[in-house]
Amino acid sequence: MNRRQFVNKALTAATAVGLTDLTFLHGLPPVSADEAKANPDTVRLTPEMEPLVGLIEGTPRDQLFTAVGDRILAGTTYQQLLGAVLLAGVRGIKPRPVGFKFHAVLVINSAHLASLNSPEFDRWLPLFWALDNFKVSQAANQKEGGWMMPPVDESKLPSWSQAKKRFAEAMDNWDEEGADRAVTALVRSAGANEVIEQFWRYGARDFRDIGHKAIFVANSWRALQTIGWQHAEPVMRSLAFALLEHEGANPAQRDGAPDRAGRENLKRLGKIREGWQRGKPTPQAATDLLATLRTANPDEACEKVVELLNKEVDPSSVWDGLFMRAGELLMQQPGIVGIHCVTATNALYFGSQASADDETRRLLFLQAAAFLPLFRDNMIGRGKLHVALQADTLEKEDPKDTKRTVLEEIFADASKDRLAAARKTLGALEDGRSLKAEMLMAAARRLLFSKGTDSHDYKFSSAALEDYYHVSPEWRNRYLATSMFNLRGSEDKDNGLDDRVRRALNRV
């Protein structure tokens, strides 16, 4: 299929699962695929940007859609609006804890990914949702003290030649003031790739905030690729402050449980063979790792990864096991921790592929393996883990309702019986005639727009649907089936977003 045929089929699939008509958005200028992609030169921190950020910050929630709609019709671009929402969040939402209200920032790249994979007129809708989500977080931040990012004390910044060294020292010693000054100088003096390279390790070094630190690193970097590195200073300052969150005494001076896996993995890096980046694709290795991860502690999980890599198993097969275990944990206990098994693994994988440093890539690989047992233990502390549900043995099920399409039946089941939805998804995808993965994902994204109510809806769907392509073909159908344990169903309550946007644009 060409692009136009695919879009038409996607819209047909979305209509089939009972979604509302979004043609009212056609009154806004379309967002072309080229405009939605990364173009760092498009958005500059000019006098025009500050008023747009100020508009978002200062306009009451019930008036914001109309105000922003007027700006769009007057020429504000998709990238400018995306950048303004991100900048409003990092400037006005405290990044601690790394989650909760701070999801207004964490979710920006996920909303952008949902836009990228949508028809050109639909691409505005996730940004309207992100605007509304920011206002909710802004109100929560106000109740908690009204934190705002403080101005930089220019007189105390280290020299540019010392910025990189000072940043590493401050982060290693959990020194907040030192890190803030150093990262400011670093962003002003170093290139984008050199700066983000310093963050990959620190985002993955500890298990506080159930993976949100790694998620923030990946999502902030990815968002900056679209809005422009010229906005990096406040984003990187927010990121450094978030990564230094901890409980109790200075973690550098004690053996805290959240830090243990990372410290052990730093010692383990040298055990991985040279040339580990390539090997032989081995589907059985993913099965073996999956079995190990069900009972292993972090050390055992990481040793298994080292063993497989040293047997010249291709890293893709090892990642298959990690991705499948993340989806399996979601199956075994749907909910907040299961969601972050998927989103944190997605972030660690992205960082491991984006980093230019071989040791950092090894570390993020091993941390992905270490985090999964930690997630499992966290979930056990929250309630029953349905360990009999396993991703590699999930049984297929044929659709039963002859009056509805397979897609309609699957997404109706997702609202009331997620296991049935997962089994029918697997059965239909394996059959290969009644359902294509791309159609299911297109419908899932449209359902996200009309049914999604939470940042995790966007974060999860963007991560899971992206990772479908990161998993080897022989595992993809099963991986996508596990995602039905958190994707929105067609019988879920409408979020009313489309109606609110329609009214704001006077397009009833």
At 280, give phi and psi (nearest 5°): -100, 120
The token duo for 307 is 């063993």
Q: pTM for the full model? A: 0.92
pLDDT at 21: 60
Quick check: helix, strand or coil at residue 272? Answer: coil
First to last CA, the chain: 34
Whole-number Å distance between alpha carbons of 195 and 152: 18
Q: Does 373 sit behind a cis peptide bond, omega within 30 degrees of 0 on the bond before it?
A: no
CB 107 within 8 A of CB 36: no
CB atoms within 10 A of CB 460: 26
What residues contact 348, with CB distance under 8 A and at least 6 apart? 204, 211, 214, 218, 364, 365, 367, 368, 371
Alpha-carbon 329 to chain mean position:
17
Give the amino acid at 165.
Answer: K
pLDDT average per 10 residues of sequence, the chain (508 residues): 54 58 63 53 52 95 95 92 95 96 97 91 92 98 96 95 98 98 97 97 98 98 94 96 97 98 98 97 97 98 98 98 98 98 98 98 98 98 96 93 87 97 96 90 95 96 98 98 98 94 75
The token duo for 242 is 């978030």
Q: What is the three-state SS of 183-239?
A: HHHHHHHCCHHHHHHHHHHHHHCCCHHHHHHHHHHHHHHHHHHHHCHHHHHHHHHHH
Q: What is the three-state SS of 379-400?
A: HHCCCCCCCCCCCCCCCCCCCC
Quick check: helix, strand or coil at residue 168? Answer: helix
Sign of the C-alpha dihedral, residues 288, 436, 118, 490? Answer: negative
Sequence length of the chain is 508
DSSP letter string, 287-317: HHHHHHHTT--HHHHHHHHHHHHHTTB-HHH
Q: What is the three-state SS of 48-99?
A: CHHHHHHHHHHCCHHHHHHHHHHHHHCCCCHHHHHHHHHHHHHHHCCCCCCC
Q: What is the three-state SS of 326-359?
A: HHHHHHHCCCHHHHHHHHHHHHHHHHHHHCCCHH
Greatest extent of the chain over all pairs of C-alpha atoms, in Å? 73
Alpha-carbon 72 to chain mean position:
26
Give the residue from 33, 49, 120 showing the smallest Cα distance to 82.
Answer: 49
Whole-number Å distance between alpha carbons of 354 and 299: 25
The token duo for 342 is 């998927």
pLDDT at 43: 30
CB 452 within 8 A of CB 496: no
Whole-number Å distance between alpha carbons of 350 and 211: 13
Whole-number Å distance between alpha carbons of 269 and 387: 31
pLDDT at 45: 42
Whole-number Å distance between alpha carbons of 70 and 278: 52
Quick check: helix, strand or coil at residue 115? Answer: helix
